[in-house]
Amino acid sequence: MINQKAINELRSILPAAEVKINAPLHEHTYTRMGGKADVLVFPKTIEDARAAVEYAYHSSYPLTILGKGSNVIIQDGGIRGIVLNLSSLDNIHESDKKVIAQSGARIIDASEFALDQKLTGLEFACGIPGSVGGAVYMNAGAYGGEIADCLESVLAVTKEGKLISLTADQLDLSYRHSNVEEKGLLVLEATFQLKDGHYDEIKAIMDDLTEKRETKQPLEYPSCGSVFKRPPGLFAGKLIQDSELQGTRIGGAEVSKKHAGFIVNIDNATATDYLNVIHHVQQTVKDKFGVDLEREVRVIGEPPEA
């Protein structure tokens, strides 16, 4: 647990930032689940974010970065230490056919901004509900496109609190993976190199992808999107469907009847319910097809006290 002295220190180092104590995190996740953060900090500037990272490093408090919470399950025991939420860092601008977006901006907004600038390359991201920072961390992608295709560079903070620039090549981007965590980085800003395009053509692609998403995905329920990565040469959703798992429910969490790759929070699910459904699906698919389903969604925080 963080003590009052540390909270006072954080408030004096970051006078403009919002600092919440014992903050419920379910309000900040797409699954609407999760326990409380000891301290939840909303930096208002890049310098605030850098200073918060440096403080956590020197005080040895664990630091967790939360984007839009659309690819995390926060366990019911919550998160110890400091949680940083970068939602206030949401500026997006254009320079020389590059879209430069701060990491708390929604990647959907970056995609729509590119459309307004008649720039092509970010259409695939038009329905991904995460932040720019989370999209870089996950190398998010959809319908044949991914962040690696258009990311030029990022501005980041090292765990010691030093600002650095990295090219996309230095982030080791592959299918739903980057080395952001391994390097202990906080991504502050991303620069996407795009190309001139035609507004109507870009818009038509985005409309088509949105329609596909709305018809296929259970967007009416809280979820974290596709729970599992695609096993090589296979589809997680098809394996789950063929295992007759759709509709399987534990507590308030259920394998979606609309899209087998999603687990939805249909009735006040706890993170424990959700994780139990994940384990049941993994076990059943393994028994039936011998395939290990690897989680795409990140699980963070502590289990509830027994």
Ligand X SMILES: Cc1cc2nc3c(=O)[nH]c(=O)nc-3n(C[C@H](O)[C@H](O)[C@H](O)COP(=O)(O)OP(=O)(O)OC[C@H]3O[C@@H](n4cnc5c(N)ncnc54)[C@H](O)[C@@H]3O)c2cc1C
17-36 binders of ligand X (CB under 6 A): 30
Dist CA 299 CA 222 (whole Å): 16
Q: Which of these ranges, 19-27, 163-171, 181-189, 263-271, lies near ligand X under the rule CB under 6 A? A: 181-189
Task: Supply the DSSP string of 176-189, one letter for each residue.
Answer: TB-STTTTT-EEEE
Smaller CB separation from ligand X, 140 or 194: 140
Q: Which stretch binds ligand X (CB under 6 A): 17-25, 52-60, 111-119, 138-146?
A: 138-146
x/- letters, 209..248, toward ligand X (CB under 6 A): --------x-x---xxx-----------------------
Residue 65, classified by CB atoms within 10 Å of its CB into exposed (0-12), middle (13-18) or buried (19+), is: buried
The number of C-alpha atoms within 13 Å of 253 and in the hemisphere containing its C-beta is 23
Give residues 280-299 in contact with ligand X (rule: CB under 6 A).
Answer: 298
CA distance 174 to 191: 18
Of the residues 226, 243, 254, 256, only one is catalytic, namely 226
Helix axes 4-13, 46-59, angle to 10 degrees: 150
Work out whether 43 is an interface residue with ligand X (CB under 6 A).
Answer: no
Annotated catalytic residue 298: no
Active-site residue flag, 80: no
Here the tokens at position 120 are: 């092509």
Q: Are 216 and 257 in contact (CB under 8 A)?
A: no
Name the active-site residue from 176, 243, 254, 256.
176
**Nearer to ligand X (CB atom), residue 28 or residue 98:** 28
Name which of residues 108 to 137 contact ligand X (CB under 6 A).
Answer: 128-131, 133-135, 137
Give 211's contacts (C-beta < 8 A, 6+ positions apart): none
The one-letter code for the residue type at 303 is P
Report d(CA 99, CA 205) in Å as an integer: 19
Give the Cα separation of 70 and 145 in Å (integer).
Answer: 19
Name which of 231 and 288 has its Cβ closer to ligand X: 231
Told to judge if 18 belongs to the known catalytic residues of this protein, a careful annotator would answer no
Nearest distance from residue 215's CB to ligand X, in Å? 13
Interface contacts to ligand X, rule CB under 6 A: 30, 65-72, 86, 103, 128-131, 133-135, 137-138, 140-142, 180, 185-187, 217, 219, 223-225, 298
Q: Catalytic positions, please?
A: 176, 226, 296
